[in-house]
Structure formats: C-alpha cells, structure tokens
Structure 1
C-alpha cells in the first residue's frame, strides 16, 4: 500500500509578534503625550490672548493733570461761586431791605437870634401806634417837625417824650401812613459785630454805611455840653443827617440810635468814629422798659 506523508506546519515566532505589539503600543503612547502637550500649549496661548484682551480693554484711568487743567478747573469754580453769591443777597442788603418800611425822614424848621434855620435827621417807627424814635438834638430846638414816610406820606409831628440824658426823643405824628411797619428791636451787640447805619447823611436819603462795633460803654461829650454815657462806638460812616437813624445788626434789627460823631476839627463831618445809644437804653423813651 502506498503511504501518505503530511507536511508539518511552519513554526510561529511568538517573540517577534510580542515585539511588534510593544512597538505599536509605544507609538500610541507617544502620540497621546504629544496631543496632551499640544492641548496644553493651546490653552496657554488662549489664556495669554485673554489676558492681553482684558488688559487692552481696561480703563487706563484719568490722564495726569496739567497746569492748564488746574487753571481751567479753578476758573470754573470761581465762576460757580460768583453765580451763587449773585443769587444770595449780601447781609447788608437784607438788613437794608428789612428797615426800609420803618425808616423815616425828619425835617425841622426853627429860628434863633441868628435867624431861621432848618435841619434834617432820621428816625425809625418802633410800635404799631407809629411812634418814631430819634435823637433829641435833631428836633429839640425846632418850631416845626415834619415826618416823611417811605410811602410818600408827609405829616407834622410833635415831641411826645424825651430823654435828654441819653439824647433820645419819641415823636407822635399827626397822620400815619396807610401801612405802619414797626422795626424789629434787637439785643446787645459785641465788639466786632457787623453793624449798619441807615439815614440821610448830607441830605442823601436812605443811605446805608457798614462797619463794626469798635467799643462799648463809651462816655463822650457832644454839642450843647451834654455828657452821654454807655454808648456804642462804631466805625460805620455817620454824618449830619444820620442822627436819629437806626443802627442795625446783620438781621436788620435795631440795636441802637445814632446820636453823634467824634471829630477833633470844627467840621461836623465823619472822620472815623461814630456813636449810638443802645436800643436797650433808648427803648425807655417810648414808654418801654429798658431791655
């Protein structure tokens, strides 16, 4: 019989197959690590771009001030201040407006051994009856007294009461204006307090002068040999025609009645020192108790 011979299978080299698989796995690992590095680099680039964008959009802040900027801002501030002051009346204006309805002009006529004479002075309405408070020396030698009110009313007046020791007098007008506006009386003032004298100096009606209280409790001698005591000394200008007029504080309240001025010359013109009777003293002339 014939005999078949079966050929043997070729042996497989297992060690080569493992090496091939190991090489493929290493290549995959390297690719994976490369991808990680690429992603990391990309993230870094994106982060840097984001930071650059934020920095580019951030407000750099105001530019440094120059001298021109400073000058411009100062000018704007001064202009705003001037506008505010223009809208707000000065204290003197408010005081003047407050006393205007109560201020009167006093004119007198008389005669003596030298002939006829005339004079002017000021006064202030101090109560609802229309009583006018003034300086006694303005009216004491007059044969006739005329009071002129702010509304144009003119009327004769007589001396209702007088206090020669303090040079004050109260006048009773024959006729009152349609509206009687008494002044508001103030209290005691201090040295340095701003004050305003209102009257008709040298025939100039309704004039205001400003100053401060220079001293208190002054004793002076005035025309006629009178010795006046406890006066308010002021540096606000007063001249003939101011006598009898009100001395005001910043609120327009009457704190004194102007009585005279100190002058070392023979001219009866203001040289820097005026005097007023405190309203606490002058109030007794119109029947009110000293305040």
Structure 2
C-alpha cells in the first residue's frame, strides 16, 4: 500500500477518535425549554414584583413624610362682637427664612397668631403679606426652630391626579386625607362674599383646621393651599368637595417664582 494512503488512513483514524472522545466527554447541553418552564418563570417574576410593591411605602406615606418637617399649626385669638374667640388652621414653611404660607381667612382679624413648628417650637407671628383676592397670606414668625425645612413646591396638576391634604381638621393635628383632583379652574364664593377663581377642586376630606394647609402630589410637593370647602348646608363640614389655590398663584405671596 502506498505511503500516502497509509498517512491518510492514520489521519482519518485520529480525527474519528477525537470526534468519538468529544462526543463521550462533552458536557450535557441545556435542557429543552417547555411551556411549563416558561409559565413557572413568569409566575416567579410576578410574585417577586408583587413582593417588592408590597414592601414599598404607599404614595400617601411618602407624601406625608416629605411634608412633615414643613407643616405648621396655626392658632389664633380674636374678639368678635365683644366675645373672645380662638381659631385653628394650618400652614407650611416655604422659605429658608421661615416664611409660612397659609390661607388669609385663617389669620385675618386675629389679635394674636401663634405658630407651632414640627419640632415643637412655638412662636408668635405676624402677617407679612396678603392676597385677599386669592385668600392667601404669609406669616413671619418671631422665633424659628433650630432647623428650618422649607417644603418643595410642585408644578401643575391634572384632573384625576392623586392628591393629599395635610392639616389639623377639627383639632386633630397632622392629619392626612387622600383623594384626586376633581376639576381645575373652579370659581367659588366663600364666606358668602369672597369670590375665588382658578381653584383646584379635589375630593380629599377637609374640615375646619385644614384651611391654609398644603395640598400635595404623590411626591410630597406642595401643589396648592387649601382654602375652602363646598357645603350647601353652610355647616363648614366636608361633603366631598374641597378647593385649593394653585401653588403657582399662592407662591407669589411668598416671593416664590411661578411654577
């Protein structure tokens, strides 16, 4: 047999032996993916997502935590027809200098105004500026807490957006209620005489003590200042409709730029 043929046979044998060895020793390939495997993987992914969502704080929780250090309790004293009266409302710190933004009707005509900050600091305050046409006022406290935390002001809202009203309804301090924006650009008459325009209408519960407090978006940004509620019985109790001055309007009283 010619030498060239012998060499060819040897090479063929070596190649065959190598192929056989690889076939015997190679690691097993991936298992065949079945529909059951796909369904199980998808189910596990959904379960992990549900667990993560359950562990995450609710929008209302985040909003409340964000506004907490900036929320103010406002207490007033006044004399009406010779009778001493006390009032309660809410406000929010909007500048590093301690300026408090609130509703004008909360403090209008008061002989004394006291603000209580989130850390417990109490101070007399005076009206620094007002916008009667928008029922907005700013207060200057005589004493500030050791740390002043201004709220973050938000932008505009749309109908259906979740919102949260934070204040002190009926003396229940630091209360949050949740709802949605029901309508925009509303005009209402409050206290039987004052017409307010371009208001945010919302359905989060508000009662006396909420006035002047912040209306928040889900990020805890102030999108409005609560100014009133609609009640055909004139009992000043909530029946499902509240109103807030948009922060783009209210913030102007505090020297804030338009939102």
TM-score (normalised: structure 1):
0.72
- Partner of residue 110, structure 1: 78
Residues 108 and 146, structure 1, Cα contact 8 Å, conserved in 2: yes
- Distance across 2 between alignment mates of 1:130 and 1:156: 13
Q: CA deviation at 1:289?
A: 4.3
Q: Which residue, out of 181, 189, 192, partners 2:160?
A: 192
1:207 matches 2:175: yes
Q: Secondary structure at the match of 1:265?
A: coil
1:252 matches 2:220: yes
Deviations 1:162-189 (A, max 9, x none): 0000000000000000000000001111
- Partner of residue 142, structure 1: 110
Q: Which residue, out of 57, 60, 64, partners 1:89?
A: 57
Which protein, 1 or 2, shows the higher relative CO under an 8 Å CA cutoff with sep ≥ 6? 2
Q: Which residue, out of 244, 247, 258, partners 1:276?
A: 244
Range that drifts further, 238-247 or 81-90 = 81-90
Q: Which residue, out of 140, 146, 169, partners 1:178?
A: 146
Which residues in structure 2 correspond to 1:9-48 (within 5 Å)? Answer: none
Q: CA deviation at 1:141?
A: 1.7
Q: CA deviation at 1:246?
A: 0.4
- Distance across 2 between alignment mates of 1:114 and 1:240: 23
Q: Secondary structure at the match of 2:237?
A: coil
1:156 matches 2:124: yes
Q: Which residue, out of 247, 255, 259, partners 1:287?
A: 255
Seen in structure 2, the aligned counterparts of structure 1 residues 253 and 116 have a Cα distance that, compared at 3 Å, is same
Q: CA deviation at 1:91?
A: 1.0
- Distance across 2 between alignment mates of 1:211 and 1:259: 16
- Distance across 2 between alignment mates of 1:209 and 1:248: 10
TM-score (normalised: structure 2):
0.81
Q: Secondary structure at the match of 1:284?
A: helix
> Pairwise CA RMSD of aligned residues?
2.3
- Distance across 1 between alignment mates of 2:219 and 2:256: 22
Which is helix-richer, 1 or 2? 1
Q: Which runs of 5+ in 1 are unaligned?
A: 1-58, 65-69
- Partner of residue 267, structure 1: 235
Deviation >2 Å, runs of 4+ = 59-62, 76-86, 287-291
Q: Secondary structure at the match of 1:240?
A: coil
Q: CA deviation at 1:229?
A: 0.3
- Distance across 1 between alignment mates of 2:98 and 2:85: 27
- Distance across 2 between alignment mates of 1:109 and 1:262: 25
Q: CA deviation at 1:84?
A: 2.4
- Distance across 1 between alignment mates of 2:173 and 2:99: 20
- Partner of residue 19, structure 1: none
Q: Which runs of 5+ in 2 are unaligned?
A: 1-30
- Distance across 1 between alignment mates of 2:62 and 2:160: 19
1:222 matches 2:190: yes
1:101 matches 2:69: yes
Residues 213 and 232, structure 1, Cα contact 8 Å, conserved in 2: yes
